[in-house]
Every structure is written in structure tokens, then in C-alpha cells.
Structure 1
Amino acid sequence: MHNYRHLPRSGLRAGVLALLGALSALTTLAGAQTVAADQPIATLPQISATAQQEEAAGPVIGYVASRSATGTKTDTALLETPQSVTVIGAEQIEILRAQSITDAVAYSIGALRPPYTERTGDEILLRGFSIPTTLRDGMRYQANRFDGQQEPYGLERIEVLKGASSILYGSAEPGGVLNTVSKRPSVDTMRELNVELGSFDRKQVSGDFTGALTDDGQWSYRLTGLKRDSDTSIDYVTDNRLFIAPALTWRPNARTSLTLLTEYQRDRSMYGSDGLPLSGTASPNPNGRIARERFVGEPGYDRYHVNRYSAGYLFEQALSDQLTLRHGLRRYRSDQQWSAINVGLELAADGRTTLDRSGQDRLEDNSQLTSDTSLQYQWRSGAVSHTTLAGFDYVREKVNTGRYDREVSQLDLYAPVYGSAIGPATPGGGWRGDSRRRGLYLQDQMKLAERWVLLLGGRQDWVRQSLCSYHNPALCSARNEATKAFSGRAGVVYLAPNGLAPFASFSQSFTPTNGADFGNNRFKPTRGEQIEAGVRYQPTGRQLMLAAAVYQLTQSNVLSDDPRNRGFQSQQGEVRSRGVELEARGKLGRNTQVLGAYTYTDARTTAASPLYPELVGKRTAGIPYNQFSLWFDHTLNDLGAPGLKAGAGLRYVGETASQWHDVPAPDYTVFDAMASYSAGPWRLSVNISNLADKNYIAACPYRCFFGEPRKVIGAVTYRW
């Protein structure tokens, strides 16, 4: 009964009902057999043929992808994947002018950007759980969550596989996995230059070039790069970046391909803010509200400088018409110099001055070697066609993070005076981590009578980890600790003749847990289990995808305080998330594109230490019950302006709970807009986020975070 109290407000309810009505109308329209007299009938076969040419790692036409490899590690139709997958292509990234992965998922179902605007990672919140690390081209990418953000301009796709998904990728949080796909060389020539100007003194130039290097097309290249100098919505915080990604493909024949992918990225920014106190943000303060642009650090001290390098290859060889070998390998390295000042939860008696303000220096040196080798075999057994995948992957990660604490004087958050003396650095926390992850996986996709798809898979992982103090390497909480885990998945899809595809699945995940309990028993890995049922609808010959899903996702073996042995922990905790997701994306008619999504998430603690019985039933911090987004863009062909496009959208996020206090962050709605004009090789565009410049609290999971103010970006693109 309590869920009824958390339904969205009347405006949101009307929006959701409108979306459901639109889904119903779209279904009816897509199933109709009549064609308007003024619509060229020849366009339908043309669209269908183009969709069939899509490849799992290739460009997405419009807003609708028909194929993906993230859910299966094989080039598979999304309709045949028995687990929810959302694909965001480069065209959608460009139209929305997404500046980060968290920007790109803003109009995607179930994926919530964290409330903070720091630039140290690509963390997203999915199905009630944090997803702190990502994959790149199907392999683990970045050694830790603070290795910086991926540059979206260098990506062909951003793909989100939702729910427990260790079957193909090993250790993963239960909410899902985020896989990005690199832009790759093409034999078709494309050259592009962009210049951008925008809010907060933003200046950026970028370019993307690809084509054949030889007349026979055996060699092709791609070069993608970007240079940006910019301030941000927070005082003194910069967002400067240099990015370059050369790539080369050798394809001597139709059976063999080798693609070399390299990347260098340099970021010069700051952590910005670890949030602000409750008083003056989500709670009243006699002095009014703290300014949303408030910087709590010290100019000249705070910084986040990172240099990242990666180099690797993707190899594919068809050994026969049925058997294909794939092998990928990548070497990654990240060097960071990071200094940040944070403030505490409480203010002094004057309601203006921080009680607790401290600084910390971090020196980080992280590296990773990852490889994935698989054999795909296509065969038949009677009336059943099989796509069997067997593989082995390996990840070696080294993380060295040295931390040094500093004392810093208090700061008046309403009238800050910077220039405080920074105390000397004293050794603080930090660790030296070394892990080796090995996994064997086996999967079979079975198709019966072109109507039923059954997927079965299993994976065995072996993980060895060492975790020692950075300042005292002889002090280790884990020394070559061994963990092993089995993960499975089973799913079924029915492919109806009219494009309807209901599915159901069960999947598992695991994450290693360091340490031991009071009896010196090694902690088991945390486990995730998901049950999901849903339906997709993709009308033949149309760029349109409708989807709905319900799920229950449980994380067990969560650490909690041991009630009998103070100072130790035991694995008594459990977190459960239940939800409903609705999504529409694609074309409505010839000139209008739409992105519509509604998500209901009920994530809460279902078991905790007996020391804290009040935690049982408590909602997960920062996760709203309701999210709703809707985006339309329209090309004005019917008004005699075929090169002109306009778009608008809204994003609603419901009330969220806190981890450390009882004051919720209120719900909010923000509006976005865009306009563009294309003429020959030229494209001019302007994008505005938070159109009304709404001053709102994004969330208060521990401290409170303001949402970003209005931001305007104008761009000029030349393609030839």
C-alpha cells in the first residue's frame, strides 16, 4: 500500500499517461497496413535494407539500434536478446550535444546520472545500484573509478546492459554494465571539423577523419581528436581537455580483420565539490541559500590532473563458414595528481562557517592489461540453429594511490575569503592493489523455427587480489587472496511475426570482497541475482523501438557490522531493487524523432546488522521512485525548411532519500532545447540544457549537490 504514496505528482502522472497512450497509439499505427497516399512506398524497403546492414559495433541510424554485442558478445539482434539493453549512438550524442557519458544517458531508461558534477569518472546509477567502472569494446576499461571520464566524441556507441551481468564480463555490480564502443576506421571517406563556443567561457575544436589508405581498401584509418578550454558552473573549476585517438584497420580479405586502437587523453580540472552542508541547501538557513556556484576549496591548491594512455587491438578471423576466432588486447595506464578540499556536514553556530574543512593530496598510478579470446561456432541440430560462444578473458590491474592529509582553516560559505594557509602534508590513507582476474565462459544461443530463442550460459571466475598500505607495504588487508565464483544466465524470447518480442531471463553477478570476519574466514563475494520479464516491439521497416520490462534484483553477502564482535564485519546485509521500465525511441513519421522513458525503482535495504535494525526497509540513498524523460526533435521539411531542425525535452527526477539524515531532496523537472540548420557540408547548432535556469538540489545522498545551471553550447560543423 505504501507505494501509492510515492506516485509522481499530477503533472508527471499526466506525462506518464500520455507516454502510455502514445505507446498504444504507436503500436496501433505501426500495425496498420495502409500507407498515406503522399508517402513514397519505396522508402519502406530502403529503410529495411539499411537496418539489415547495421553491425553491432557500427553506426546507429537515428535513435534506434537494431543490433548489439554487449548483451551476448555476438552480433545479435536486440529483439533476440533476453535482457534489457539500451543503445545510444553517435548521432544521438551529437544532437543532444552530450558532454559526458552521464549527459548521454540523461534521456535513457533507468540510467541516472549521479548528483555531483565532478569530472573524475563516468559513474552512473542503474536499477538502484552504482556502476562505477565501464567496459570499452567489450573489455574492462580503467583501473579504478577515479581514472577520469571517457570522451564521448571518440565513441560510436554507448550501450547499457541492465541487471546482473557477470556471465560474459566477470566481476560487476548487480545494476548492470556500461560498455562503450570506439569509433573505428571505415573505407568510406568522412572528414569533419567542429568549433564550439558556450557558457562558462567554453571553447572547443574537434575533428574526425576516416577513409581508405589504399585503392583496394585493405588499409583504412581513423583519427579523432579534441581540444577544449573551459570553466564550469562552479567557481574556479576548469574543464580543459586534450584528446586524440588514432586507429588503423587491416582487412586483407573478407575473413580477416585487425584493428589497432590507441588513445591519449589529458584532463586539467578539479574535483569541484564533495557536496555542501544540508543547512543552506535542502534545509532552511537564516542566512539564505548557499550559492550554487560556491567553491569550497582553495584556488591554486585544488586540482585534478590526469594523463591517460591506452593501446590495443581487435582481431577477427573466420576459420570456416561456421567457426570464427576473435581476440582483443589492450594496455591502459593512468597517472594522476589530485588535490581537493572538502567540508563537513555541519556549520558553526553562525550558520555560515564550516566546522570541518580538510585537504587531501592524492598521487595515483594505475595500470591495466586486459585480453579476451573467444571462438564462435554456428551449427544446426535438427530444427534448432545454434550460435555457441566459448571464451577466456584475463585482466591484470595495479592501483597505487598515495594519500596525504592537510589541515585547512574554516570558510564562510556565504562570503568566502580564499587564501587560507594550507597545512603541511602528513601521510594519510592509500593503498597498493594488485589483482588478477581470469574467466572461462560458455554460451549457447538457440533458435527454433525462427520464432523461439533460448539463451543459456555459464562462467567460472578466479580472482587473486593483494591490497596493502601505500605508506607501509608490509601492512596488508589482503595478500594474494583467492576468490572464485560461478555465474549463470538463462533467457527465452518469442519472436512474433508482427515484430513483437516478449522475453524472460534469470541472471547473476558477483563482486569480490576483501578481508575476513572475526573467525578469520575469508569474505565471500557479494552476489547479485535478477529475474526480469519484458517485451520489445520493432515494426518491420520502421525506425522505431518500444520496450517495457519489470524486474527484481537482489544483492546478497553485503558487509555489515558484526553484532557479537565489535570492530569486525559479517556478511548479513542484503539490498533489493524492484522496478518497471517503459521506453519509446525512434521516428514518428518522416520528420519527427522521439525519446520517451519512464522508470519506477524501489531500492531498499532488506537485511542489515542487528545493531542497526532501523536500516531494514530504508531506501537506497539518491535513488528516486520515479524518473520520466521525453524528447522530441522535428525537421521542418513540411514548412519548406528541410535543413532546419528543432528539439525540446524534459527530465523529471523524483524525491530522493539520504544516507546520513532524514531530509529528502525534493523532486525536480528541467527542460532542454536545441536547434540546428544544415546546408550542404555545413551544420550550425545550439543546445541549451536547463532552459529555465532552475536552481534545484539534485540529491543529498550524504552531503547535498546543486544541479547544473543553464548551459548554452553553439557549434559549427563542416563535413566533406
Structure 2
Amino acid sequence: MGVYALASAQELVTINGKVTDESGDVIPGVNVYAENGNNKTTTDHQGNFSLSVPKTTLTIKFSYVGYITASRNINQNKEKITLNISLSPTKSDLQQVEITGRKEKTYKNTATFIGSKSEILLKDLPQSVSYASKELIADQGAVRVGEVVKNFSGVNQFTFYDDITIRGFRINGGSNTQLINGMRTSTGFWKQPLANYLERVEVLKGPSSALYGNASPGGVINRVTKKPLAETRKSLSLSMGSYNTFRALGDVTGPANKDSTLLYRLNFGYEDANSFRDMQFDKNLIIAPSLTFLPSKNTSLNFDLVYNDSKSRLDRGQSVFGNGNLYSTPQSTSLNTGNDHLNEKTYNVSLSLNHRFSENLNFTASYMKTGYSEDLYEHRSANTYALDATGKSVDNLIAMQIFNRIRKRYIDNFSGFINYKLKTGKIEQTIVAGYDYASEKLPVGASQLTATNYRNAANTGSISFVKSEYDKDPTNYIKKFLVVNNLLVPNVPSFNLNDVMASQRMQDDSKNFFTQAAYDPTYYFLNAGYVQDNIKFGKLQALLGLRYEYYTDYSNYLKPTQATANSKALLPRFGLVYSAITNINLYGTYVMGYTPQTASAISNPNAGGPFDPLKSNMIEFGAKTSWLDERLTASAAIYQIKQKNVLYNANVVGQPDLLRSVGEERSRGIEFDIIGRIIPQLSILASYSYNEASITDSPIASEIGRQKPNAPHHTANIWAKYSITSGILKGLGIGGGSNYVDSRILSIDATQTIPSYTLFNAAFYYNVGKVQVQFNMNNITNKVHWVGGYDYLRLFPGTPSNYLFTLGYTFN
């Protein structure tokens, strides 16, 4: 009896068929699977499928994003079954927040929440958006946002930090103008966290102040966290690679109760890695739980937490000899010593509520709190070479300073809005009206000790060297300083590029003279109200928005001299979309932006000021298209962005953080993006941008017309992956691509540049059952390059040829 039962259980039935939509068009990539088993497949580019399942199987399911999941019972008495299915599209009512996880497993995404405070199809948004899905991120072996942005047109790294350039304008994670799930936050800036908890990374190009308040005119980055799914999925991966890299990542999700009203997801990651850079390492722990409660079909409650604990050293970049030769020092050379450390802890916790009062009226409310703590001890350059007794730079000696800083920062923000849909004749409207609150506080307790400059003649303290004072009376002025071997004796020993190992040894810093740097508490908050109307009439759509924002900043916060500074802005947004034909939308948009530049917003007490706020505007025209039965999308954009009151380093000796304002900058360019699948087995992403970002008005006439720092004219990227889905090589895949970044200037004086570079990357994949093996090779040709920098004392070299081996396992 037992033998008979075993034989019966192994008997199979083969199901063949085709999946189409209601109009009869085939749907490639549909998930076809047994309800109570692991047997699954997808439809090919002609909509056909073939699936073998045990005869004990009762139901086959068909699912695809944008369509209602279909179920079909099968006849267990047959060995071969033909089953043709027609899927119905989901209702057009779009959810107001990202409630549950994205089920797609491709590079392509069809909708976004970043551009309109509610879900909108990408083709209907009159503004350019670039994105990378978790599938693309995983296939490329990328683990940080800085590695992901290479896929976006008009986006490139600025430094090693969480610091990038969008359309020629810098945006960094130190300010709270970056987004997580559409909420304002900060990433801490110095170190980029792991990205394994992200569903996708997306960039809304151009000023986004009409939606989110103060933000970079180049664009805003939104990190979308993975949300719970109503189906059980579990995965674990282990990675090992170059520079003693070890990484363990996990992702589990599913329903927490029988009726699936409570869904959960937990992402976690651990990393222990060294670097091609001397003295550098990263030890990261990230935990990201998420819960979704669905008490009724009209109400959802989301909870998200992202906690990151990072231990490392802060890498300020590579320095070269004063002769200006980029290749005069190894790219591995860092200025750290063995007693440096950077310990950071960050958490982002959010709670969001979405309730549908009726088919036409929805309400959304979200609150997020960010906490950041920093414990930093670093040896870094003073952004200049050491001096001899005549005030002349010594080309092989880097002037050094020590920062010992402890601080915390807290960011709170709330967003509440209603979404109302109405139809009057042939006119359809979606009206959004809401209120935002955001604040940032650097509380009491922050401290910074700094050791810098040169020792006085009595060797009892440190003083700065001012060349203009030396020139007035060289003989008497130099008597103020301690001089040995015709060199000014530095407070902190200079870094000798001719003896790197000796300079990197752990030092006895007790002999240095430290001063308490000003690090007073700071606090600002803003209140904003906005209204937006998306009007649709036939083939024409108009997106009209207006935001009023009132910003309050406290200077000398909590001191007797505390003073309040206020600024306000009225920010319009106009966009038009015209559906020329079924698969081509044309659009145009005008948006304005602003960013206060107070002490709180800049988060640097040594920056100077007060400064006038940044003011910007953008005009953009473009087209968005879809091809090959919606499998492949393409977009093109042409734009102009103007910004006033930009800050640059003042380059004042002894004040390396001091800033100054220039008049106006302008960025003009074109962009192209392609993403999707040419056939079900071949996924592709490609982009190209041309950008001319330059200074158009400045108090210094020679600066007018100069290219903005770290703003390349040309960038290009391509990545493709081919997977074999049948035959003896089934489960095998190969990926490959290339990235090009044009040459850039590093500083506003345009005297220092870094060259262009082209990188080639490849990957191999093999899936067998629940196991995936992946091998990534990056910078295959070992191209020497620099991803960015500030000057030749702070260069940020790109990683040499490296590899990563990953073993993954999925289970139910």
C-alpha cells in the first residue's frame, strides 16, 4: 500500500496553454504556479506556458502585476491538459501609499508615489524619474546607493560619502532633503548604509519643493523600503569577495495570521569588509522590520523601522604630491592612523495610516522620526600642504588636523493629505490637499575638539600662519612660530607622502594642543500647506500644484542671545501630459524650488553666514513611451535649471569650512532612459545624458562660464541580463554592462580636473531549485579612475578590479 501511494504521488500532469488579456493580446512574464506546491513557470514572449505538476494538485494560479490573479481547477484524471486564460486588469483606483510589497520580479516598474503624493503611472507624471528595482540592484551585486546611481541618467557620485550630483547639482545625506518612503530624512552623510532593505531607489529629477519643501534643484532621492507581502517568501544569501569582504543578508515576509490581515517583513544584514584603501574597514549591522495591518478593505496601517549600526574609519580621500600629478601616489593611500574611528548609529521609524472613506475620498497620514549619533575621531588633511619658514608649500608634506566629535541629530516630520476624485462630464480630477511639518534638532551635548595649525615659538599652543602678515614683516612675523629645519612645526605632525607607513602609525595625540570648537545646539522647523489638482480631459492631463512653506530657524539656540529667523516661499508647479498615441505620452513642466541656508540647515557652525536662501526653477519637456506589449519603456527629456545664491568654499587659510556665495548657476541638458525586457529572457537598462552645468553670474568675473565641480558633460550606462529558461542549460544566466563618466573639474577655480573613465562589469548566475549561485566581476579591465573629489588633496578613487561570490537560498 505504501509503495502504491508513493508511485501515485510521483505521477505528473502536464498543463499547456496561453495567457492573454481581455482584448486578446498575449501577456508575457505571467507567473503560473501550483497553489500547494513549488512547481512554477512564466509565460514566454508569445504568452505560452508549459507546467508539470503532481496529480495531487487541485488548483493552478496565474498572477501578473496590473491584473487580477486568476485560479483554475484541473482535472486530475488527465495526463495532459490545455488551459487558456484571459486575465482582467485591476481596478483603476490606485492606492494612496505604498501599502504592500511589489510582486514584480523584473527591472521594470510601472508606477511611482514620489511624483504626486499618491500612486501615479510613470507615463502620466510630467517630470523625469529614474529608478532601480531590487532585482537590478541584486543582479549587479550593488549594496549601496552610491553604486546604484550609476544606472541613472544625469546622476553621478561626488565623493565616497552619501553625496551625489544630479543634473550638475550636489545633494548629500547630511541634510534632511533625502527621502525614505516619501518622508524627509538624513542618512548621516559619512557612510552609506547597506541597501538590502530597499525595494527600489528612485530619483525625481528637478526641484521638488512644491511637494517636499526645501530640496536640491537637481532632484531628490527616494529610498523605498521593502513592504510585507501577502504570500510567504524567505531568502538568505552569503557573499564573499575582494578585500576580505563577508556579507550575510536575509529577507522574510508573509502573513502573520490566518486571514492575512497582519503582514510582516524582516530584512537584516551584516557586513565585515576591508577596502583597497589603506586603514579602511566597514562593519555594519542593519535590521529593518515592517508590519502592515489591514483591519478592513478600506483601512491600512504600516509600521517601518530601519536601524543601522556602523563601525568604520572616515575616509577623506587620496592626496597627491604638490606637483599636481594624479598618479604620484598610490590610490590606496589614505591619511588615517590606527587610532581613528567613526561609530555611527541611525534609525528611521515611521507609522502611516491610509483610510478610504468612499470610492472617491482617501486620507493618508504619516509620521517619521530619524535619530542619528556620531562618535568620530579622525586624522585628516587641513586641505593644504605644510609650510616652510618662508610660507612656501612643501610638496610632499600634507598639513594635518584632528577632529574629535560627538553629536546627535533628530529629525521629525509629519505629512497628512486627502485625495479626492471627481468626474464632471468628460473631465476627471484628482485633488490632493495636505499639510507638512518637519523639524531638525542638534541637541545640547554636542562637542568637538580640534587640533590644527602650527606651534607658537614658546611651544605652548597653536596659531595659524597668515601669508599676508608674513609678507608685511617676514623677520618679525616668523618669530611667532616654532621653526625646526626651516619648517614651521605643525601642531599635528604632517603626513609625509615619502614615508606613508610611518605617517599612518598610531600616534600619541596627547602632545597636541586641542581647542574646543563651537558646536552650539541648532533647531529649525517648517510648516507647509499645499494643494494639487490632476485634471484629465481626453488625451490631455494637467498637473497643477501650489505649496506655501514657512520656515523658522533659531540662531544661538538656547543661548541668552537666541534669535529667530523666518523665511517663507510660495512654490508653484505646472505640468501637462498629452497622449499622442496609445504608447507615447508627451509632457512639459515648470517647477520652482528653494532651500534655506541657515546655520541649522547647513549643519556646520564654521560655514559662516547668514546666507540668502537658494532659489531655483526648472523648465522640462519630454516623452515617455512603451513598446513590445508594455515590456519595454523609454523616456527622453530636455531641461533647463537655474539656481541663485549657491555656496562654495571660500578657500580662506585657517578656515577650511568657510563658505561664500556666488550669483547664479544654470544647468541645461538632455537625457535618455530605457528599461524593461526585449524578450522575457532578456532584461536591459540603458541611459545617456548630456549636461552643461556652469556658473552664469559671480562677483568674480573669471568664474563666469566655468563648469560646475563634479558635473560631467556626458554620462552613459548599459546593463543587460539574459536567462536561459529551458533545455540542458536551464537556470543559467549572464549579465554585463558598462559605465562611462566624462572628465570633471574638482573646484570652482577649474585648475584641477579628473579624467573620464569607462568601466566594464559582468556577472554569471545559476539557479538550481531553491539555490542560486552568483558571481560578479566589476571593473574587469582594472581601470584607474576617480569617482569624484574636492581637490588634489581630497580625491576619491574608484575601486580597482574586484569580485563578489554570492550563494543564495530561498525557502517557503
Classify 1:236/1:656 alpha carbon distance in 2 versus 1 (closer, same or farther; 3 Å). same
Q: Distance in 1 between matches of 2:577 and 2:432?
A: 18
Structure 2 equivalent of residue 420 of structure 1: 507
Q: Distance in 2 between matches of 1:634 and 1:493?
A: 34
1:398-413 equivalent positions in 2, closer than 5 A: 398-400=441-443, 401-406=446-451, 407-413=491-497
2:337 counterpart of 1:298: yes
Q: Distance in 2 between matches of 1:39 and 1:113?
A: 37
Matched to 1:685, the amino acid is Q
Q: Distance in 2 between matches of 1:151 and 1:103?
A: 11
2:255 counterpart of 1:212: yes
Residue 348 (structure 2) aligned to one of 310, 321, 330: 310
Does structure 2 conserve the Cα–Cα contact (< 8 Å) formed by 1:353 and 1:410? no
Residue-by-residue CA offset, 1:460-499 (whole Å, 9 max, x unaligned): 0011112438xx95566xx321111111110111123331
Classify 1:559/1:246 alpha carbon distance in 2 versus 1 (closer, same or farther; 3 Å). closer
Does structure 2 conserve the Cα–Cα contact (< 8 Å) formed by 1:112 and 1:124? yes
Residue 771 (structure 2) aligned to one of 672, 676, 682: 682
Residue-by-residue CA offset, 1:599-652 (whole Å, 9 max, x unaligned): 11101110111xx11111111011111111111211134774221111111111
The alpha carbon displacement at 1:513 in A equals 2.5
Classify 1:88/1:328 alpha carbon distance in 2 versus 1 (closer, same or farther; 3 Å). same
1:569-580 equivalent positions in 2, closer than 5 A: 573-580=663-670
Paired residue secondary structure (2:729): coil
2:761 counterpart of 1:672: yes
The alpha carbon displacement at 1:123 in A equals 2.1
Residue-by-residue CA offset, 1:558-583 (whole Å, 9 max, x unaligned): 46899xxxx99997610100011011
Matched to 1:283, the amino acid is N
2:607 counterpart of 1:607: no
Residue 395 (structure 1) aligned to one of 438, 443, 447: 438
Classify 1:543/1:236 alpha carbon distance in 2 versus 1 (closer, same or farther; 3 Å). same
1:576-655 equivalent positions in 2, closer than 5 A: 576-609=666-699, 612-637=700-725, 640-655=728-743
The alpha carbon displacement at 1:692 in A equals 1.6
2:352 counterpart of 1:265: no
Q: Distance in 1 between matches of 2:261 and 2:335?
A: 55
Structure 2 equivalent of residue 40 of structure 1: 46
2:484 counterpart of 1:484: no
Structure 2 equivalent of residue 289 of structure 1: 328
Structure 1 equivalent of residue 36 of structure 2: none
Which structure is larger by alpha-carbon Rg, 1 or 2? Answer: 2
Residue 170 (structure 2) aligned to one of 130, 147, 150: 130
Paired residue secondary structure (1:315): strand
Residue 134 (structure 2) aligned to one of 80, 90, 93: 90
Classify 1:212/1:637 alpha carbon distance in 2 versus 1 (closer, same or farther; 3 Å). closer
1:164-243 equivalent positions in 2, closer than 5 A: 164-243=207-286
2:405 counterpart of 1:362: yes
Structure 2 equivalent of residue 716 of structure 1: 807
Does structure 2 conserve the Cα–Cα contact (< 8 Å) formed by 1:352 and 1:412? no
Q: Distance in 2 between matches of 1:48 and 1:466?
A: 48
2:470 counterpart of 1:432: no
Matched to 1:693, the amino acid is N
Classify 1:210/1:176 alpha carbon distance in 2 versus 1 (closer, same or farther; 3 Å). same
Structure 2 equivalent of residue 555 of structure 1: 643
Q: Distance in 1 between matches of 2:559 and 2:730?
A: 66
Paired residue secondary structure (2:305): strand
Matched to 1:504, the amino acid is G
Matched to 1:649, the amino acid is G
Matched to 2:316, the amino acid is S
Classify 1:90/1:408 alpha carbon distance in 2 versus 1 (closer, same or farther; 3 Å). same
Does structure 1 conserve the Cα–Cα contact (< 8 Å) formed by 2:169 and 2:218? yes
Does structure 2 conserve the Cα–Cα contact (< 8 Å) formed by 1:109 and 1:582? yes
2:227 counterpart of 1:139: no
Identity among equivalent positions (%) equals 24
Unaligned runs of 5+ in 1: 1-32, 516-520
The alpha carbon displacement at 1:200 in A equals 1.0
Does structure 1 conserve the Cα–Cα contact (< 8 Å) formed by 2:320 and 2:328? no
Classify 1:293/1:523 alpha carbon distance in 2 versus 1 (closer, same or farther; 3 Å). closer
Does structure 1 conserve the Cα–Cα contact (< 8 Å) formed by 2:190 and 2:314? no
Q: Distance in 2 between matches of 1:577 and 1:323?
A: 40
Classify 1:100/1:679 alpha carbon distance in 2 versus 1 (closer, same or farther; 3 Å). same
Matched to 2:546, the amino acid is G
Q: Distance in 2 between matches of 1:299 and 1:602?
A: 42
Does structure 2 conserve the Cα–Cα contact (< 8 Å) formed by 1:498 and 1:539? no
The alpha carbon displacement at 1:350 in A equals 10
Paired residue secondary structure (1:354): strand
Does structure 2 conserve the Cα–Cα contact (< 8 Å) formed by 1:132 and 1:145? no
The alpha carbon displacement at 1:399 in A equals 2.2
Classify 1:398/1:154 alpha carbon distance in 2 versus 1 (closer, same or farther; 3 Å). same
TM normalised by structure 1 equals 0.86
Q: Distance in 2 between matches of 1:147 and 1:413?
A: 25
1:33-112 equivalent positions in 2, closer than 5 A: 40-42=46-48, 49=66, 57=98, 58-59=101-102, 60-112=104-156
2:323 counterpart of 1:276: no
Q: Distance in 1 between matches of 2:109 and 2:193?
A: 21
Structure 1 equivalent of residue 455 of structure 2: none
Does structure 2 conserve the Cα–Cα contact (< 8 Å) formed by 1:505 and 1:533? yes
Does structure 2 conserve the Cα–Cα contact (< 8 Å) formed by 1:456 and 1:491? yes
Q: Distance in 1 between matches of 2:67 and 2:133?
A: 16
The alpha carbon displacement at 1:63 in A equals 1.4
Does structure 2 conserve the Cα–Cα contact (< 8 Å) formed by 1:697 and 1:707? yes
Q: What number of residue pairs does the alignment pair up?
A: 662
Paired residue secondary structure (1:79): helix
Does structure 2 conserve the Cα–Cα contact (< 8 Å) formed by 1:123 and 1:145? no
The alpha carbon displacement at 1:685 in A equals 0.5
Classify 1:474/1:277 alpha carbon distance in 2 versus 1 (closer, same or farther; 3 Å). farther
The alpha carbon displacement at 1:701 in A equals 3.4
Q: Distance in 2 between matches of 1:355 and 1:42?
A: 66
Q: Distance in 2 between matches of 1:105 and 1:35?
A: 31
Residue-by-residue CA offset, 1:250-273 (whole Å, 9 max, x unaligned): 101110000111222100011112
Structure 1 equivalent of residue 15 of structure 2: none
Paired residue secondary structure (1:168): helix
The alpha carbon displacement at 1:698 in A equals 3.1
The alpha carbon displacement at 1:543 in A equals 1.8
Q: Distance in 1 between matches of 2:122 and 2:393?
A: 58
Matched to 1:84, the amino acid is S
Q: Distance in 2 between matches of 1:129 and 1:527?
A: 13
Residue 706 (structure 1) aligned to one of 758, 781, 797: 797
Unaligned runs of 5+ in 2: 1-24, 29-43, 50-61, 69-88, 452-490, 600-608
Does structure 2 conserve the Cα–Cα contact (< 8 Å) formed by 1:431 and 1:467? no
Bigger relative contact order (CA 8 A; separation at least 6): 1
2:202 counterpart of 1:159: yes
Structure 1 equivalent of residue 536 of structure 2: 447
TM normalised by structure 2 equals 0.77
Q: Distance in 1 between matches of 2:764 and 2:298?
A: 44
Matched to 1:457, the amino acid is G
Does structure 2 conserve the Cα–Cα contact (< 8 Å) formed by 1:248 and 1:259? yes
Q: Distance in 1 between matches of 2:675 and 2:805?
A: 25
